[in-house]
Amino acid sequence: MSTFVIAEAGVNHNGSLAIAKQLVDQAKYAGADCIKFQTFISGNLTTKQVEKANYQKQDTNPHETQLEMLKKLELSFAEFIELNEYCKIRKIEFLSTAFDFESIDFLHSLGLTKWKIPSGEITNLPYLIKIAQHRKPTILSTGMSTMEEIRLALNVLKQNGANDVTVLHCTTEYPAPFDEVNLSAMPTIGHELGVPVGYSDHTKGIEISIAAVAMGARVIEKHFTLDRTMIGPDHVASIEPEEFKQMVKAIRNVEIALGNGKKEPSASEKRNIEIARKSIVAKCEISEGDEFTEDNLTIKRPGIGISPMKWFEVIGKRAVRNFQEDELIEL
């Protein structure tokens, strides 16, 4: 099954619909299956005096509150309607994460085919119930979470109608340090909870997403920007279009390379068996009736004669005819 690759544009449009459309164009160019934004009403998302996270302060005004920052990054519902239509024109799936009830209702009105729950909402019981009641495929990010918190959220979702849930392992830091990725937790989640899994990648570079696909990720979400040097909270932990394109290409190659899991010679290998393997041959001239011994037999390419696995079946037998040096032995 093909990995579902999400270009996480988030708020990397910096509050500009024009930049958001450019992100759509570049996500399509890079081969993403989907581009995802974030839909919120700032006043519904955070209280007035909440400070920004340290990573947010680095590339934004360090003196403004989180609310002040978010207001600059907010797109209106009308702009999201236009953005959704633009995605249809560009033939790439539109997705957005809702951060409040009004935004959930609005995105539902757009006819989204699936929901994406961010890590910060995994302990928001009313939010989980409202999402689940729409009974659509749901992707759940699990940054900052314990296994028990994931289990509880899954139970809430399934009890309220969301039966198709993919769980994304995630490290909520921007960028996420490699020594805190703990990618091995992703298959652990899948095995313990019996769900398809994926990875929401906040690391620098593309190798961790590629590794996640090799480890069984069904969904990859990667932060995406036009330019990492832009001012904004998430640009520095995002990758640019050419990098994203390289990542998608590598993911598709890994998918092909994973194969069907059966260990058997491939079509190209079968053509090489006779050349690469060996047979039992005469080490020197052997006369008819001579006994085959370790002194007059050896093992050389090609592999079209008697297999060396039958070495001890051949030793001690008599030559049925004369053999020249390097000639394949026959019994």
Each residue's pLDDT expressed in tens, for the chain with a length of 331 residues:
799 999 999 999 999 999 999 999 999 999 999 999 999 998 877 877 777 566 666 666 676 888 888 888 999 999 999 999 999 999 999 999 999 999 999 999 999 999 999 999 999 999 999 999 999 999 999 999 999 999 999 999 999 999 999 999 999 999 999 999 999 999 999 999 999 999 999 999 999 999 999 999 999 999 999 999 999 888 999 999 999 999 999 999 999 999 999 999 999 999 999 999 999 999 999 999 999 999 999 999 999 999 999 999 999 999 999 999 999 999 9
Task: Quote the tokens at residue 272.
Answer: 């090489």
∠ CA 131-137-143, nearest 5°, is: 70
Tell me: do 233 and 252 sit in the same domain: yes
Tell me: do 105 and 223 sit in the same domain: yes
Tell me: do 165 and 113 sit in the same domain: yes
Tell me: do 136 and 282 sit in the same domain: no
CATH number of the domain at 275, please: 3.90.1210.10
Range of the domain at 152: 4-258
CATH number of the domain at 65, please: 3.20.20.70
Q: Locate tokens 């290409």: which residue?
A: 249
For residues 220 and 236, what is the distance between their CA atoms, to the nearest angstrom? 19
Tell me: do 226 and 290 sit in the same domain: no
Tell me: do 191 and 310 sit in the same domain: no
Tell me: do 199 and 276 sit in the same domain: no
Tell me: do 237 and 282 sit in the same domain: no
State pTM to two decimals.
0.89
Domain presence at residue 326:
no
Domain presence at residue 327:
no
Q: How many domains does the chain have?
A: 2
Tell me: do 48 and 87 sit in the same domain: yes
Domain presence at residue 28:
yes
Domain presence at residue 305:
yes
Tell me: do 250 and 305 sit in the same domain: no
Tell me: do 21 and 169 sit in the same domain: yes
Calculate helix-pair angle for 241-258, 17-30, nearest 10 degrees. 30
Domain presence at residue 71:
yes
